[in-house]
Amino acid sequence: MQYAKEHAFPLSAKDVEHLAIGYMNVKLKVAPDAEPLDNQPNVEPNLASATESPDDRLERALKELRDATAADLLDNLLQVSPNRFEVIVLDVLHRLGYGASRNDLQRVGGSGDADIDGIISLDKLGLEKVYVQAKRWQNTVGRPELQAFYGALAGQKAKRGVFITTSGFTAHAVDFAKSVDGIVLVDGTRLVHLMMDHEVGVTSRLLRLPTLDRDYFDEE
């Protein structure tokens, strides 16, 4: 920065104030061939942060912690083996209330699994079932994969199926799922948030926030 070059270190308090205020709206230069990405973080200076209430700052901090944990979860999901990922998916579905017990969720994945990785029995006799496909992918899931899964469901005479992936789904895949009955899609973002909400692969700690009890100070 030219200003820093022209002023000897250490900078005085006045120089620091000039840098903080005078260069507040300076933005980083972006390479002309850089492809803009979705969901880019807002790098504009947050001038309202100084006037935020403690509750607002706490809520923002909790969101940052949750976003960081979600990213860590997704990284770890991409590193586990396909077999382990299938087990994790069934654990999540069980926490969501599928199956009376964990034994009602059966992993059948492996070579020759006919596009079925798990089976969930919704009743004790196993008369009603949900079939699961779990893909630990980085590339998006397309329409052909969903068509194969739908065909596998038809082969099992199944009415319900859940397709879960660590990545996402193409627009054609989403359109296909909407055009048929009984298929639910879960992408990586939704998966890690379900894991956090139901404490699968994460632990939580209780945050105690003291609040004034005005009734305690009332004199009768």
Instruction: Output the average pLDDT for the chain.
Output: 82
Residue 90's pLDDT is 95
Q: Could you give the number of structural domains in the chain?
A: 1
CATH of the domain at 61: 3.40.1350.10
More confident residue, 38 or 160: 160
**39: domain range?**
17-203
CA 92 – CA 196 distance, rounded (Å): 10
215 domain-assigned: no
pLDDT digits (tens, 9 = 90+) for 138-157: 999 999 999 999 999 999 88
Rounded to 5 degrees, what angle do the CA atoms 141, 145, 149 make? 125
Taking residues 93-113, report their average pLDDT: 82
For 24-169, list the strands marked E by DSSP.
105-107, 118-121, 129-135, 161-165
Residue 112's pLDDT is 53
217 domain-assigned: no
Least confidently predicted of 57-71, 105-119, 124-138, 159-173: 105-119
70 domain-assigned: yes
pLDDT digits (tens, 9 = 90+) for 45-97: 555 566 888 888 889 999 999 999 999 999 999 999 999 999 999 999 999 99
**Contact (CB, 8 A) for 77 and 86:** no
Tokens for 144, please give them. Answer: 């052909």
**Contact (CB, 8 A) for 86 and 118:** yes
